[in-house]
Amino acid sequence: MNWRQIILLYKKELLEFVRDKRTFLIMLFVPALLYPGIIILTTELTAKQVTKQQKKVYEVGVKSDFIGNELVDYLKTDKYLEIVDQESPDFTKTNVFIEPVDGYAGALKSFKTATLKVHYKTADSDSRFAYDKVSLKIRKFKEELVEKRLKIKGLDKELIIPLKVEVQKVDQEVESRYLAGRVLPGIMLIMLVVGCSFIAQEIAAGEKERGTLETVLCSPLSRLELVCGKYLTVVTVGFLSAVINLGCMALTLGHMSGISGGDVESNPFANFTLPISVMPVILICLIIVAILVSGLTLMAASMARTVQEAGQYMVPITLVMSLPVIFSSLPGVEMEGVVRFVPFLNFCLLFQDLLIGEGTFLDFLSVAVSTGLFSVLVVTLLIKVYSSEGVLFNHEGRSTFSFNRSSLKERASFEANDSIIIFSIMLLLMFFVSTSLQTYDLGTSVLVSQWTIFFALSIALLKYFRVKVSSALYLKAPGPRNLLVCLFLAPFCYSAVMLMQIVLQYFGYKGAEMELFDIMATLTTEYGFLGTLFIISVTPAVCEEILFRGVLLSGLRREFNLKACMWLQAIMFGLAHFSFFRFAGTAVMGAVLTLIIFRTGSLYCTILMHMIFNALSCLIWAYDVPDKILLDNIWWIALFTIPGCSLILLLKPENSGQSTGDGS
């Protein structure tokens, strides 16, 4: 790898970016003007609106026979509350309606508890604000009523106040930093994506659209050097954009702190200061995260034909980037367990901890290692993209989809692009149909969604688009040896997945087994054990294999080799179960079943394997095998599982002549 040539390409891309002065100046000065303007505008508008709401007169509906009551007279003392005679709630004329429960007056006279109903609309801001005002007045009236009762009885007020609590906030500055930690990481990630996506679109999709990519490819640069040069360019521009945004936001919050005079009630960032001591760590983490974001945006842009298309690819990346920001704000989400190794989420949590002085070196190391590993994977994929002329110059892709069925020719399988489209459609249908049916019956939801969407719709698609069912679904008679191997292989694969989940529990990835057992408990109550076995074991084995290892895999094999198909099937199969906790186990099984198809060429083998695998879960639950037994014998299970999984090597490779998708 020639670093001199990489630096030359890096300088060339940067100079072209800087040469576009308008874009460069927008990146520099827009944040500096935007953040102060947004914060000052929102602060002033919020303060003005709150003041307006506080000075607004609200109508309180009261029944005519209750108007002369002592409580109503007390409400009249508030000049912002107007009493209106009403027999029933009518929120077109009033904001709140008050009515006493039967026996209200008698209960008060006999020193008992009286009940009062307050009606208001939760979807109306005026009604909610009026309710707050009325509730405050009623609370004060209640306190005065208690004092009167105590005085009549000759008792001291302190008798009913055994404990007085004084709340003292220890450090307002830390609170302001804590709130800033909820805002700044999200802004930085989003702006990092925006900065990286712009330059990535220009130097990847833009070069294709302008026809200058061929010139670069004809240079003495290797594909690795080409990727490194472009990658460094995107990292530099993205990091610079994020730093500018971070600096402008920090200065704005600091300025707001100064002009608010430390009034936390009017400004939650009144005491905010960005600690200088943590700035080096934040900048290093920002560089690490910028490397991964740059790789993702450059990958997406490289797959596009035009800048406009690349811009559409950046939308899902931006949306996905907002997820870690949301998760980091959830209560109980901390830098521990498996969360340490989730890219972007661990960065947000580390940023929050650094601001309040709780970040550790182990937290920093977790962010660096996990993000670095994902970055290496992205760079590897980028090199493959720039090494494939089909990706760089032919993005039309082949497709068998056509509404004119008469123009379709009979074929052995769908194309790879079709498989991805079909999976996306099936995933959406499965989500909406199954979640809608689950409100009625879990068993019905599984049966209907599996047999109608995965099975019936898959067969219908094959028939409509003139795809041979026998070849697309690998309906090849399996040999006795392959069936016997799958029969014995299933328990060992089940043990391997179980061991993996036990290991993941030590990293905080818990809940997969309990989630599955809860489902089986619900089904057994409604359908009995045999019915549950059919729903959990037989139905998914047939329907899911028809779709995933049949329709989808036969299309993917036309363009991808074994390793790529296993990765794609793992991701697809994991996502199709709509469970974060079961994703790892289902993904591994998706990859293993894909390997079995490649070695046997028969869908019957994977159906058998899948059926036994799921049946084992039912049996373990039915016989209530304690977790302690499994944990106490984990080493014995591992000792037999590892060599047991090698049985897959005994599966006889297919000889059907079908393409293996090895890229040849």
Convert the pLDDT of each residue in 473-524 to its tens digit. Answer: 999 888 888 899 999 888 888 888 887 877 777 666 665 556 667 777 788 8
CB atoms within 10 A of CB 220: 7
**In percent, how much of the chain has pLDDT > 70?**
85
Do 314 and 364 have their domain in common? yes
Q: How many residues are given for the chain?
A: 664
pLDDT at res. 664 = 31
pLDDT at res. 512 = 55
Do 129 and 268 have their domain in common? no
Do 91 and 235 have their domain in common? no
- Please tell me the distance from the alpha carbon of residue 467 to that of residue 24, in angstroms, as a whole number: 52
Do 465 and 374 have their domain in common? no
Give the confidence band of 629 by pLDDT, cuts at 50, 70, 90: low
pLDDT at residue 641 greater than cutoff 60? yes
pLDDT at res. 389 = 65
Nearest 5°: CA angle at 271, between 168 and 190?
120
Convert the pLDDT of each residue in 430-489 to its tens digit. Answer: 888 877 776 677 888 888 889 999 999 999 999 988 899 999 999 988 888 889 999 988
Do 17 and 112 have their domain in common? no
Give the confidence band of 661 by pLDDT, cuts at 50, 70, 90: very low
- Please tell me the distance from the alpha carbon of residue 476 to that of residue 483, in angstroms, as a whole number: 12
Tokens 């009033």 found at:
94
pLDDT at residue 656 greater than cutoff 50? no
pLDDT at residue 24 greater than cutoff 50? yes
Whether 402 maps to a domain, the answer reads no
pLDDT at residue 607 greater than cutoff 90? yes
pLDDT at res. 96 = 93
- Please tell me the distance from the alpha carbon of residue 613 to that of residue 350, in angstroms, as a whole number: 40
Whether 405 maps to a domain, the answer reads no
pLDDT at residue 399 greater than cutoff 60? no
pLDDT at res. 155 = 83
Least confident of 252-261, 343-352, 604-613: 252-261
CB atoms within 10 A of CB 529: 14
**In percent, how much of the chain has pLDDT > 90?**
19
Do 299 and 375 have their domain in common? yes
Convert the pLDDT of each residue in 39-87 to its tens digit. Answer: 777 777 877 887 888 888 999 999 888 887 888 888 988 888 999 988 8
Whether 505 maps to a domain, the answer reads yes
Q: Which CATH number do you get for residue 146?
A: 3.40.190
Mean pLDDT of 227-248: 83
Which of 110, 125, 160 lies at the terminal end of a domain, its last residue? 160
Rounded alpha-carbon distances, angstroms, from residue 240 to 155, 193, 227 = 70, 12, 20
Whether 500 maps to a domain, the answer reads yes
Do 456 and 381 have their domain in common? no
Whether 304 maps to a domain, the answer reads yes
Do 61 and 41 have their domain in common? no
Least confident of 124-138, 220-234, 547-561: 220-234
This prediction has a pTM of 0.70
Rounded alpha-carbon distances, angstroms, from residue 377 to 216, 266, 373, 381, 614 = 24, 47, 6, 6, 32
Give the confidence band of 257 by pLDDT, cuts at 50, 70, 90: low
Who has greater pLDDT, 480 or 626? 480
DSSP 654: P
pLDDT at res. 627 = 57
Whether 588 maps to a domain, the answer reads yes
Nearest to 569 by CA among 560, 582, 581: 560
Which of 110, 134, 160 lies at the terminal end of a domain, its last residue? 160
Who has greater pLDDT, 26 or 10? 10
Do 180 and 293 have their domain in common? yes
pLDDT at residue 231 greater than cutoff 70? yes
Whether 128 maps to a domain, the answer reads yes
Split into its structural domains, the chain has a count of 3
Who has greater pLDDT, 228 or 637? 228
Side chain identity at residue 586, one-letter code: T
pLDDT at res. 379 = 86
Do 279 and 335 have their domain in common? yes
Nearest to 380 by CA among 293, 295, 320, 305: 295
CB atoms within 10 A of CB 376: 13
Mean pLDDT of 637-648: 76
Which of 132, 160, 188 lies at the terminal end of a domain, its last residue? 160
Do 448 and 585 have their domain in common? yes
Mean pLDDT of 353-369: 88
Mean pLDDT is highest, among 45-54, 303-312, 313-322, 539-548, for 539-548
pLDDT at res. 663 = 39
Mean pLDDT of 363-391: 84
Q: Which residues pair with 119 in a beta bridge?
A: 97
pLDDT at res. 492 = 86
pLDDT at res. 172 = 62
pLDDT at res. 392 = 63
pLDDT at residue 659 greater than cutoff 50? no
> Are residues 211 and 321 in contact, defined by beta-carbon separation less than 8 angstroms?
no
Whether 437 maps to a domain, the answer reads yes
Mean pLDDT of 180-209: 83
What integer best gives the mean pLDDT of the chain? 81
Do 67 and 151 have their domain in common? yes
pLDDT at residue 611 greater than cutoff 70? yes
Structural domain including 348 reads 3-46+173-393
Mean pLDDT of 180-198: 82
- Please tell me the distance from the alpha carbon of residue 217 to that of residue 227, in angstroms, as a whole number: 11
Mean pLDDT of 134-144: 91
DSSP 170: S
